[in-house]
Structure 1
Amino acid sequence: MQANVLCPKVSVVMPCYNNAAYVRQAVDSVLQQDYPNIELIVVDDGSTDNSLEVLASYGDRIRVIVQPNQGPAAARNNGIRHATGDYIAFLDSDDLWLPGKLSAQLEFLQTNPDFIACFCSWSVWDGNEIPAFNQPTAEQRLELQKDKSGWLYLPLLDDSVIHTISVVIKKQIMDSVGFFNEDYRVGEDHDYWLRLSRVGKIAKLKTLYALYRANQQSTTNKVHAKNFSLLVLQAAVDNYGLCDPEGKCLPESVYQQYVARRHFMYGYQSFWAGHKDKALVAFRACLPHSTYRLKSFIYLTICQFDFIYHFVISRRA
């Protein structure tokens, strides 16, 4: 490929916070893509380790923006503001892309203009040896996973089927959707995909092109003061209702199951993290829903007796 009108610029936005041990691998996985027109913007989110020294070693091959620590949503938004590409992609500084990701996604988007964004399959990775990657055939490169492609608002109400590190979006579409919501400490990406799904169709390529590093320190593994997963769901339904832009609707009973599942998961995480008061509130909210009633009742019973609760927690430690 030549960097011409057939290869529009892709701006890759990478937030980085104290990831000196991993950021080089992430950056290299972008720079080694076979797509020729890439702008890599790394937003250092107030790192206190030597992340900036690692990034400086790349010279003018990457752009580095430094900001006080504000969280990944603010870092991504800062990168978007500085992006000059026709398309935007995201990669976190401890994850990586496999070869051919951008070229496949850009080819798909350029040959299928009715789609506003394209994401790919991804896998959790333990951070050790990179799994063997077999280059897909010409037919496999652009093969769609049809049940995860199209108008995705209703599937996204169920769960965040899109991973941030897997997606490429048309910049003009992002300009219309707006920025990531910085009020969400977690789930800001899910909120964005829900908003994006109201604008147009989104495609998923079957091929695995991204690896998500399993990390026990990740913000997704922490118990937050608020149930952000539930808040994101409720905000979407408050704003857009239970029907997608084509008129297909989610039954109210199914929506209530989605609500109950988020209460239960927040209660479960809070229970095992030692936040008994949060767990009690969440499990009580599950009781009206038959799917989670028995499990919630068991957890509530354990929470009522301190000696049983502490015994159960200690057995898991």
Structure 2
Amino acid sequence: MQSYSAIIPAFNAAAFIGDAIASIRAQTVQPAQIIVVDDGSSDGTANVVRGIGDDIVILHQENRGVGAATTAGFAVSRAPLLATLDSDDLWLPNKMEAQLARLAEEASLCGVFAHIQPFRPADGQHASKRNTSVPGWLRTTMVIRREAFTTIGPIIDPPGGCGDMVDWLARVREGGHRLTMLEDTLALRRIRPGSLSSTHNADRDGGYLYAARQAILRKRAGQD
């Protein structure tokens, strides 16, 4: 199996980034490196990460958005595979082993995703049984070959802080790269007040509309 870099973009994540990093350390296949990109946090996120271990690479940038932070992590990573995790989510222990095996089986695959299950802190470390896992076309489940980043370019942050992965994965597919979804539930998505996964507003919708509009414009440009 090829090695991977684990990349966490983080903004004001001091309360839960320790859990995210612990879920990486619990993997049955360990990363070549863990990279945390502090996106202008004001709550001591970087100090928490430093206290966890000096083997973690910490990058600092002014607040530019989760897409820009992920891109910054990609740029300094050294492994041939890139795995990403939102700072308030968790990987299940066999996540990387399952995804790395699939990539090893199919050389033509560029990226592998997995199902994800929501949980609330009151449920403890695992999601409650009432929650149903869903296909996770998300940062938290993504494992992708480096060439996707080098050929497609940066992840762009749309208005409202949402839709960055929708836009980037659309560009990846348009570039001819194959992506697949595993049926296994391999990650947990934290639902908390104020998180992007728990709120719906006009700004958020604007991000997804941006992604859809950009896809239409690229298609039209390709037809000219």
TM-score range, shorter chain: 0.7 to 0.9
1:204-263: CA deviation from partner (whole Å, max 9, x where unpaired): 11110111111231245243187221221121122136xxxxxxxxxxxxxxxxxxxxxx
1:176 is matched with which residue: 151, 166, 174? 151
1:228 is matched with which residue: 207, 212, 220? 207
Counting only pairs closer than 5 Å after superposition, residues 228-267 of structure 1 correspond to structure 2 as 228-240=207-219
CA change 1:225–1:96 in 2 (3 A) is closer
CA change 1:132–1:94 in 2 (3 A) is closer
* Partner residue in 1 for 2:104: 110
Q: Does 1:36 align with 2:30?
A: yes
Structure number with greater CO (CA < 8 Å, separation at least 6) is: 2
1:201 is matched with which residue: 178, 182, 186? 178
Asked whether the equivalents of residues 112 and 180 of structure 2 are also in contact (C-alpha less than 8 Å), the reply is yes
Q: CA deviation at 1:51?
A: 1.5
Asked whether the equivalents of residues 8 and 37 of structure 1 are also in contact (C-alpha less than 8 Å), the reply is no
Q: Does 1:130 align with 2:144?
A: no
* Partner residue in 1 for 2:131: none
3-state secondary structure, aligned to 1:205? strand
Q: CA deviation at 1:177?
A: 1.1
Tell me the TM-score normalized by structure 2.
0.86
- What residue identity is the alignment partner of 1:131? H
Q: Does 1:56 align with 2:50?
A: yes
- What residue identity is the alignment partner of 1:236? A
- What residue identity is the alignment partner of 1:53? N
Distance 1:57 1:224 in 2: 35
* Partner residue in 1 for 2:10: 16
1:163 is matched with which residue: 127, 138, 152? 138
Figure out how many residues of one structure are paired with residues of the other and give that number. Answer: 211
Asked whether the equivalents of residues 103 and 111 of structure 2 are also in contact (C-alpha less than 8 Å), the reply is yes
Asked whether the equivalents of residues 162 and 204 of structure 2 are also in contact (C-alpha less than 8 Å), the reply is no
Report which of the two structures shows the higher radius of gyration computed on alpha carbons. Answer: 1
Q: Does 1:27 align with 2:2?
A: no
- What residue identity is the alignment partner of 2:184? T
Distance 2:55 2:100 in 1: 21
Instruction: Flag structure 2 segments of 5+ consecutive residues without an equivalent.
Output: 129-133
Asked whether the equivalents of residues 119 and 166 of structure 1 are also in contact (C-alpha less than 8 Å), the reply is yes
Q: Does 1:73 align with 2:64?
A: no
- What residue identity is the alignment partner of 1:190? V
3-state secondary structure, aligned to 1:60? coil
CA change 1:132–1:123 in 2 (3 A) is closer
3-state secondary structure, aligned to 2:110? strand
1:37-62: CA deviation from partner (whole Å, max 9, x where unpaired): 43110011111112222101123321
Structure with higher strand content: 2
Instruction: Flag structure 1 segments of 5+ consecutive residues without an equivalent.
Output: 1-6, 134-144, 149-160, 242-317
Distance 1:27 1:170 in 2: 21
- What residue identity is the alignment partner of 2:191? A
Distance 2:81 2:62 in 1: 26
CA change 1:16–1:132 in 2 (3 A) is closer
Q: Does 1:92 align with 2:86?
A: yes
Distance 1:99 1:54 in 2: 22
1:10-51: CA deviation from partner (whole Å, max 9, x where unpaired): 111101111111010000101111113431100111111122
Distance 2:94 2:50 in 1: 26
1:118-173: CA deviation from partner (whole Å, max 9, x where unpaired): 0000011112312379xxxxxxxxxxx9xx8xxxxxxxxxxxx6111111000012
- What residue identity is the alignment partner of 2:187? A
1:192 is matched with which residue: 156, 168, 171? 168
Identical pairs, percent: 27
Asked whether the equivalents of residues 158 and 210 of structure 2 are also in contact (C-alpha less than 8 Å), the reply is no
Q: Stretches of 4+ moved more than 6 A in 1?
A: none
Distance 1:192 1:83 in 2: 18
